[in-house]
Structure 1
């Protein structure tokens, strides 16, 4: 196996022709996937993106519902803090920091679960299909992308859930 990179991608066909003319029987093929509509891996990648988007939208709605319930449980505490004279901005900063810590902890937990599942999934399917293929791989770029997506989403959900409490009248917060 020999990998050759051409400077100009348009020269790849000419290079292939020249090389096969000089060495008959040589099998030359590109290592990059073509990006046309017939590529089965491009269709699979679009399918995975669609599944990911639906999953993220559904989990965001679930996360927001949980955060709203959590904020409602803290309604009286926020009311008491505001009655004590603590400004809404300070409470908002606390909510943002708490949301950040929860989101970071959730992202780290998710990565640990994904890394553990990676080994289990690979071993199962390698056993099932008697192959050495790697079916799942959690790489560092995938991990960073997950954290970069999960943390702002968690902070945003916490902020939206608490924003309604911070806008309410203080008396309505402490009333039962």
Structure 2
């Protein structure tokens, strides 16, 4: 979020927040936005994101906020619901959009592919029978399974150029749908 104004106390407060962007004036804001569309800034951002201090920093910060992700099971397992999830590989940045840039900072929206192992609790009806009169399954058992998925989430990140580092991130896509894994025949 942009905060526009010349007040020094407000600027200091905004600079301490990893999610806010301070601009002195509306013309400075428009200049910054226009600068984000140049091939030069996109190239510099791509190089910055490739540096281990930045890419590893983004991965660590996302991993620390992994519990903010909310997988929603929409598959075919009876009464299936997600009971947990964990990282299952290395995250990859698929794409980025530069929101603001200065000599020191770059703020971006990242599309990050996150490999997850998702635990699903469900009602196993394989040995149960259906009671038409009561409209229920009798003899169901509690079961669990895992689904591997690689959702792409959007993440806001504020980066510094010198030294290359991640000031902060905010996960923007918290909910995503999870489907059953089917083999292709």
Is the shorter-chain TM-score for this pair beyond 0.5, marking a shared fold?
Answer: no
TM-score of the superposed pair, with normalisation by structure 1: 0.22
Higher strand fraction (1 or 2): 2
How high is the TM-score relative to the length of structure 2? 0.22
More helix by share: 1
Q: Which has the higher contact order (CA 8 A, sep 6+)?
A: 1
